[in-house]
Amino acid sequence: MIPYSKQSVNHEDLEALKEALFSSHLTQGQRVSEFESLVAARAGAPFALALNSATSALYCAYAALGIGQNDEVITTPISFVATTNMLLALGAKPVFCDILPNGNIDPSKIEPLITPRTRAIVSVDYAGQSVAVNSIAHIAKKHGLLWISDSSHAFGARVGDLPVGSFADATIFSFHAIKPITTAEGGAVVFKDAEAHKKAQLLHSHGVQKKALWNSEVEFLGFNFRLNELGAALGISQYKRLDSFIAKRDSIARLYDSLLADSPFCTTLAREPHLTTTHHLYPVFLALSLWCSKESLFAQLHEKGIGAQVHYKPINSYALYGADSRATPAANDFYLSELSLPCHQEMSEEQAREIVQTFNALCAKESNACAT
Ligand SMILES: *Cc1c(COP(=O)(O)O)cnc(C)c1O
């Protein structure tokens, strides 16, 4: 099975892991801080905190910026559910905003959703392509709202020359196995503000503040959301290849773009020349006549060893979120049409060609099935 995304590890990663494993500290050593410095530098942000997952990073970012009970947060339904689960964990209410054809939150739909209780906008860089940073920053500033970017797909992405991570009040990255680079499990949050960073640091490690000698103080509840030294060692080693991973996925994506350019079966994401995307996903959007066959297409692709996936079922259609997505029709259509084809740095161009051939053959067959 060719998965939709996949890690790429090599001998250098193994050596870095071995060194960390036999070092004095398996956790709470120097490698985590070293990794944090790399993340901060790449994200163009002054403060970075590494954690054991992006989910923990989302929780700490929200909490550190003061989002809590009864706050409303305007966000996108087209994301992994962790984006909003961590709002619920803090007693905040996600308010779902509709999306653009590229899967990102539609800035023109945000303002009508603002109420006196709105505290923040949480956007997601779908597939690794940045949201419209200027529009969102403008709306946030105009209404005194926080802006938090779940950039779990987008570590290494850019807008012009500026890195994703340099725009929002807080930006979250995931280093889950199949994200742009990996620490096996892991995540990070970068902040503009030193105070928020300090608060998140306490939250992610028991809330314990060291005083003199053995003495410490605890003023509020904290957890253990720390990244360990093995994960950090892997992350440092992987970071050296981030740009080559992005370049490889870009070449696969360009090949798909050209092979699918005149397809009667689907459209693809429009390329935006000023954006450097990580291509964490390669989504295609089925023609309306194929929506009825998406399940069948999905199953047949899997039978033929092509691990297509769907990103995402709208979060507002889940039971936990009230199972009512009528307020976001564009997100619903996005869900009905979207399929993610395999796109990762371990794939060959030959495989991409075969995937398109198989996809076209199956679509041709299904097109007739839909018509009858
Ligand atoms: C992967 C992902 C997460 C969660 O990341 P973990 O590191 O697995 O906790 C959150 N948000 C989005 C958009 C993701 O894709």
CB of 309 within 6 A of ligand 1: the answer is no
92 neighbors 119 (Cβ within 8 angstroms): yes
Residues of the chain with CATH 3.90.1150.10: 243-371
CB of 126 within 6 A of ligand 1: the answer is no
Q: Which atom of ligand 1 is nearest to the CA of 174?
A: 7
342 neighbors 355 (Cβ within 8 angstroms): yes
Q: List the one residue out of 158, 191, 157, 187 whose CA is nearest residue 175.
A: 187
The model's pLDDT over 145-192, given as tens digits with 9 standing for 90+, comes to 999 999 999 999 999 999 999 999 999 999 999 999 999 999 999 999
CB of 280 within 6 A of ligand 1: the answer is no
Instruction: Return the DSSP state at 98.
Output: -
Q: Which CATH class is domain 243-371?
A: alpha beta
What percentage of the chain exceeds 70 in pLDDT?
99
- Which two three-digit tokens encode residue 31? 């490698």
Residues 211-228: what's their mean pLDDT?
96
81 C-alpha to ligand 1 centroid (Å): 8
pLDDT at 61: 98
Q: List the one residue out of 105, 55, 78, 153 whose CA is nearest residue 318.
A: 78
145 neighbors 173 (Cβ within 8 angstroms): no
50 C-alpha to ligand 1 centroid (Å): 14
User: How many Cα atoms are found within 13 Å in the side-chain-facing hemisphere of 359?
Assistant: 27
Q: Which atom of ligand 1 is nearest to the CA of 185?
A: 7
Residues 331-336: what's their mean pLDDT?
98
CB of 150 within 6 A of ligand 1: the answer is yes
Q: How does the average pLDDT of the chain come out, rounded? A: 97
Pocket test for ligand 1, best of 174, 234, 280, 309 (most atoms within 8 A of CB): 174
Q: List the one residue out of 234, 244, 230, 257 whose CA is nearest residue 345.
A: 244
Q: Which atom of ligand 1 is nearest to the CA of 56?
A: 9
Residues 201-211: what's their mean pLDDT?
97
Q: Is the pLDDT of residue 226 over 90?
A: yes
Residues of the chain with CATH 3.40.640.10: 2-239
Q: Which atom of ligand 1 is nearest to the CA of 124?
A: 13
246 neighbors 41 (Cβ within 8 angstroms): no
Question: Under CATH, what is the fold of the domain 2-239?
Answer: Aspartate Aminotransferase; domain 2 (3.40.640)
Q: List the one residue out of 187, 189, 181 whose CA is nearest residue 235.
A: 181
Burial grade of 97 (CB within 10 A; 0-12, 13-18, 19 or more): buried
pLDDT at 370: 63
